[in-house]
Amino acid sequence: MDKFDRIYQLHHILAGRRTPISLADVMERLDCSKATVYRLIDAMRNHLSAPIVTDPEIGGFRYAPDSNSRAYELPGLWFSAQELQALVVFDRLLENLEPGLLSEHLAPFSKRLTELVQNKRLGLSEAAHRIHLVGIAARPPTPWFQVLASATLQRRKLRFTYHSRSKDERTQRTVSPQRLTRYRDNWYLDALDHGRKGLRSFAVDRVSGASELGERADEVAKDALDEHFASSYGIFGGKANKTAVLLFSPERARWVADERWHPQQIGQFLTDGRYELRIPYRDPRELIMDILRHGAEVEVAAPEGLRAEVARQLRHALQAYGDR
């Protein structure tokens, strides 16, 4: 550890105690000599105004209690080496998540973070090359993302044009934004649609002409949002009213048993080695797509309607290849 790390750690040792800590214990926990401990304490007293006092009985150290019962804190921003590493990882992850999305706003933070890393000689200059995120079928958000994010955080109503993929039509929407959701490498706006008088999820990349209104957004309780958007399977909203029962082959079970398809899923291994997965759902479209990617390694046991639809799509897929 360098001097700054030891000061940071000594502060947390003293701040977390009501009784003095001995010199020997400080030397052991900081892994340093007696002289180094005294140099650290001197630096904290003289340059950081730390109220460190020496206990006359054991020769240990503690923070003197403040007359207003306020705990002493190091001035400015202090980070341990581990915390700086975590911040560097976060910074690189955010940049890889959506290149340029927040670069303008986070530029001062990134610059200061780089200076701190270089000052502490942590050797993290290659973090951008060593952390790699691969987005699958990701759709880049439009410039309107900033408007949606601002209105969501500031709790203001929104008006925008929405181009629906399923119906290929454009409609004007006035909504109370509730939250932005990152789902399968894409952004969605969960909102109360005032025209449809209900909760809706909007793909951010299909929004255009967004403007923030002066009216305060209507609030929807978190429990109500979770019940509508998270109780059923996938991005399609609505409270789950059916349960899919999927049977995976013993070979595929080794992967699926460790996967989380839904927060309320129930899975178990059967005596023949297959894996049974039960998933609540309402709209089957996304669930069917995930079932089909497992091909012959999965069978829909129930309900019958879902089983029939998967079988129908498999037959159509086979017909597309013909007898070639």
Is the model more confident about 289 or about 109? 289
Distances, alpha carbon 261 to alpha carbons 119, 134, 257, in Å:
44, 20, 10
Question: Model-level pTM greater than 0.85?
Answer: no
Q: What is the pLDDT of residue 78?
A: 62
Assigned CATH class of 3-63: mainly alpha
CB proximity list for 211: less than 8 A, separation 6 or greater? 147, 158, 159, 160
Top-ranked range on mean pLDDT: pick from 53-62, 71-80, 117-126, 302-311: 302-311
Tell me how far the alpha carbon of residue 287 is from its chain's centroid. 23
145-229: what fold? SH3 type barrels. (2.30.30)
Top-ranked range on mean pLDDT: pick from 4-18, 106-120, 121-135: 4-18
Domain boundaries, the chain: 3-63, 81-130, 145-229, 242-321
> Which pLDDT tens digit goes with each residue over 2-49?
677 788 889 989 988 888 999 999 999 999 999 999 999 999 999 888
Nearest to 217 by CA among 147, 146, 153: 153
Mean pLDDT over 220-236 rounds to 83
Q: What is the pLDDT of residue 252?
A: 95
Low-confidence winner among 168-177, 182-191, 310-319 (lowest mean pLDDT) = 182-191
Q: Percent helix, strand and coil across the chain, each rounded to 5?
A: 40, 25, 35
242-321: what fold? Alpha-Beta Plaits (3.30.70)
Distances, alpha carbon 96 to alpha carbons 43, 100, 101, in Å:
40, 9, 10
Mean pLDDT over 191-206 rounds to 94
How would you classify residue 165: left for phi > 0, otherwise alpha for psi between -120 and 50, otherwise beta?
alpha
Instruction: Please count the CA atoms within 13 angstroms of the CA of 125 that sit on its side-chain side.
Output: 6
| DSSP classification of residue 294 | T
Rounded-to-integer distance, Cα 298 and Cα 285, Å:
17
User: Is omega for the bond preceding 99 within 30 degrees of 0, making it cis?
Assistant: no
Rounded-to-integer distance, Cα 228 and Cα 115, Å:
45
DSSP bridge partners of 269: 275
Taking 60 as the threshold, does the pLDDT of residue 168 lie above it?
yes
> Which pLDDT tens digit goes with each residue over 66-111?
655 567 887 765 666 667 667 777 666 666 666 555 566 566 666 6
Rounded-to-integer distance, Cα 82 and Cα 117, Å:
11
Q: What is the pLDDT of residue 126?
A: 57
Fold: same for 3-63 and 145-229: no
